[in-house]
Amino acid sequence: MAMMEQPEASGRAGELDVTLGELKQFPTLRHLREEELSLLRGATRVTLALGDHLPTQIGGRYSFYAVLEGEVTISRQEGGREEHVSTQRTGDTFGEVPLLSGWRAVRATCLATKPTRLLRVPEDAFWKILGVSPATREAVLADYTKRFETYQAMTLHREKLVSLGTLAAGLMHELNNPGAAAKRAASQLRENVSRLQQISLRMTRTPLDSDQLACLAHLQEQVLVSHGSASPALSPLEQSDQEEELSSWLESIGVDNPWRLAPTLVSAGWVREDIACARESFPPRILSDALNYLEALISSMQFVGTIEESVARVTDLVVAVKKYAYDDKNRQQAVDVRDSLLSTLTILSHKFRQKSIQVERELPPAATKISCVGAGLAQVWTNLLDNAIDASPENGTIRVRLWTENNSICVGIRDSGPGIPPEHAGHIFEPFYTTKEAGVGTGLGLDIAHRIVVGNFHGDLEFTSKLGATEFVVRLPIADVGDAVREGCSIAAR
C-alpha cells in the first residue's frame, strides 16, 4: 500500500486539524501555545501501512515528524548492510538531526512496522517553531544531542570494528608468510637429517685415511664459515650459469644428484676449486657420498637460518602489535614517535603490498620521545596512512619522513594520488565528512586524527595538496608538554 499524505485544512488557527490535545502527547511539542498552532498550518498528516517506507526527503528538503499512532524503525545503509538506528513510537518525534546538523546526504530509511499515522512538519515551519518557542527549542535540542551522541557512538564503534578487522586480516596474512616459511624449512630440515644419517652410515662402512678425514674436516669447516658470512651477490643469470657449469662438472666426475647439489653449493658461494681436494682425496664411489653429505649439511644450515628469520619476523610483528595496542592505555608513558610510526608501518605493510606501493622512509634515529597519557599516536598514523594508501594509485609511492623543527617533532606522510579538490579541502577535518562512495568509510579518520593531535598534544595537523602530491604534516611539541598536555590527554582518554 502506498503512503498517503493529507494536507491540513486552511483557515484560522482554531480550524487546523492539529489540536493542543494531540500535541500534549509529544514531550517536544507540548509547550506550544494555542496562538502558536498557526505555525503548523503547512503540516500534513501521513498515513503508512505496514511495510511502507517514509521518504527521507520531499522536494529535496527534510521534514520534522511526530508519531501520532503506530511505529517506525529508522536504519541506515553501511558497508552494504542495513544497520538499525532507532525505533519511534506513538508520542515520539524525529527528523531534527539532519535539520540541525546541516547534513544533506543522510543515508537513512524509515519503515513502518505497524500501521502508522504521522504529522509531517516542513522545514520552514520547524525553524519558525524553534524561533518562537524557547521550551520547544530546548526539548528538540535535547533530543538532538542525545541522538547525535548515540549515532556518533555507533559510528565510532563501527569504525573501530572495521579497523580491527582490517588489522587482524593483515596480521594473519603477515604471520602466515613467516609461519609457512618456517614450516617448509622444518620439513626440509627433517628430510636432510634423514639423508645425513643414511650417508653417514654408508661412509662408516668404508674406513677413511688421514688425508680423506682431513679433507672432509676442511670442507665441513668451510660450510660453517660460509654460513656465518655473506655470500657473493649474483644476478639471476650469473647464478643460473654457475649452477649449470657446476652441475655439468659434477655429473662428469660421477657424482649422484648433481642437479640438487649445484644450486646449494653455488648459493653458498662455492666453486669447482673449493671441492678440488675432495676429488683428489676420495675414490669415485665415496666422492658422491661426501659431496651429498656436504650439500645436506649446507642446506640444513640454510634451513635453520630461514627458521630463525621467520621466528624473528613473527616476534617483530608481535612486538609491533603490543606497542600499537598499549599506545592508548590510560597511564603515564613515554611515547617514542619514531617507534610508534615504525610499528604502524609494520602492521599496515600488507596493504602497501596489495597495491604495490613503495614506501620511502626518512626516519633518522633521533630522540623522539614525548611523555603523555593515552597518546593515541598509532591511531593517527593508521588513519593518515590508510587514507594515503586509498589515494595512491597502483605502483604508487608514499613518503614518510620525520624531523624536528621549532622545538617540535614533525611527521610528514605524502601520497602520490590525484590530490584533494578545493571544494573538499575546507571540510576534510569535519566529523563524518567523506568523499568516498556510500558504505565505504565513515568520514571519521581525519577527524579522529585531528582531535588526537590537537587535543592530546596541543599540536597541529595540516596538509598541502596538488596533483600527485598530498602531504599531511603532524607537529607535536617537545617542550612544555607537562601538565597542560597531560590534562588534555586525560580528558581525551576518558
Phi, psi of 254, deg, nearest 5:
85, 25
* Domain end residue (candidates: 117, 132, 147): 132
Angle subtended by helix axes 134-204 and 377-391, to nearest 10 = 80
Could you tell me if 343 and 462 lie in one domain? yes
The answer to whether 309 touches 185, Cβ cutoff 8 Å, is no
Residue 388 CA to residue 399 CA, distance in Å, equals 10
Average pLDDT over residues 130-139: 90
Candidate ranges 85-99, 168-182, 437-451; pick with highest mean pLDDT = 85-99
* Domain end residue (candidates: 88, 108, 132): 132
In a domain, 162, yes or no: no
Could you tell me if 439 and 487 lie in one domain? yes
CA 288 to chain centre: 54
Show the cell assigned to 33: 501555545
- Which residues are within 8 A (CB) of 308 and not within 5 positions of it... i.e. 6 or more apart? none
Q: How confident is the model at residue 491 (pLDDT cuts 50, 70, 90)?
A: very low
In a domain, 344, yes or no: yes
Could you tell me if 37 and 79 lie in one domain? yes
* DSSP summary character for residue 104: S
In a domain, 145, yes or no: no
pLDDT of residue 79: 56
Number of Cβ within a 10 Å radius of residue 185: 21
In a domain, 321, yes or no: no
Asked whether the predicted pLDDT for residue 478 surpasses 60, the reply is yes
Given the DSSP bridges, would you call strands 332-336 and 71-78 parallel, antiparallel or unpaired?
unpaired
Q: Which of 369, 366, 450, 454 is nearest to 403 (CA)?
A: 366
Show the cell assigned to 9: 485544512
Which CATH number do you get for residue 479? 3.30.565.10
Could you tell me if 461 and 347 lie in one domain? yes
Show the cell assigned to 333: 608513558
Q: Kindly report which listed range (32-46, 176-190, 203-217) carries the lowest average pLDDT score.
A: 203-217
- Cell 540541525: give the residue: 100
Could you tell me if 176 and 300 lie in one domain? yes
pLDDT of residue 310: 82
Which CATH number do you get for residue 81? 2.60.120.10
Beta bridge partners of 81: 78
Residue 158 CA to residue 154 CA, distance in Å, equals 6
Q: What's the domain range around 57?
A: 4-132
In a domain, 28, yes or no: yes
Could you tell me if 360 and 219 lie in one domain? no
- Condensed to tens digits (0 to 9), the pLDDT of residues 375-416 reads 577 778 888 998 899 888 998 999 999 998 888 889 999 999
In a domain, 161, yes or no: no
- Condensed to tens digits (0 to 9), the pLDDT of residues 207-236 reads 777 877 887 787 777 766 665 555 556 677
- Which residues are within 8 A (CB) of 189 and not within 5 positions of it... i.e. 6 or more apart? 300, 303, 304, 307
Given the DSSP bridges, would you call strands 358-362 and 397-405 parallel, antiparallel or unpaired?
parallel
Could you tell me if 275 and 235 lie in one domain? yes
Global pTM exceeds 0.85: no
Higher pLDDT residue, 2 or 358?
358
Sheet of 93-94, strand order: 4-7, 44-48, 116-122, 63-69, 93-94
Structural domain count, the chain: 3
Q: What integer best gives the mean pLDDT of the chain?
A: 77
In a domain, 151, yes or no: no
pLDDT of residue 480: 45
Could you tell me if 334 and 300 lie in one domain? no
